[in-house]
Amino acid sequence: MRLGGVAANLARIQSASANEAHAELVRNMIQDSEYLIEWTAPDAEINTASELVEMQIQLAVWRRKWQSIWNNIEQRQRVATQAGQWSARVLELSGLLDEN
């Protein structure tokens, strides 16, 4: 379930990045995603935890450089695309898609 929460937050980052007025909102969601990963990774399988930590590191880099990323439309779009790809991957890792 926690992986599902991480995936949902990453999807919200992707979606909210389309609106120029949401710079601070997206930055906060990035930070929230870092925390969610921190709480989730210790209980995940080792390969999943490894992927999550790699995502967490990149999220931290984005947060540190957020103002310059947000002001550059191409960089912002790359962040949105990457967040969407991560969301799909984390959802896959969660196994929630397998439950019917």
For the chain, the domains span 2-94
Residue of 61, 90, 62 whose CA lies nearest to 76: 62
The pLDDT value recorded for residue 1 is: 84
The pLDDT value recorded for residue 47 is: 95
∠77-80-83 over CA atoms, to 5°? 150
Spatial distance between the Cα atoms of 37 and 60, rounded to a whole number of angstroms: 11
Spatial distance between the Cα atoms of 36 and 56, rounded to a whole number of angstroms: 9
pTM, entire model:
0.91
Query: Terminal CA-to-CA distance of the chain, rounded, Å?
Result: 15
Spatial distance between the Cα atoms of 14 and 83, rounded to a whole number of angstroms: 6
84 alpha carbon, distance to own chain's centre: 8
Q: What is the pLDDT along the chain (100 residues), one digit of tens a residue?
A: 899 999 999 999 999 999 999 999 999 999 999 999 999 999 999 999 999 999 999 999 999 999 999 999 999 999 999 999 999 999 998 887 775 5
The pLDDT value recorded for residue 21 is: 96
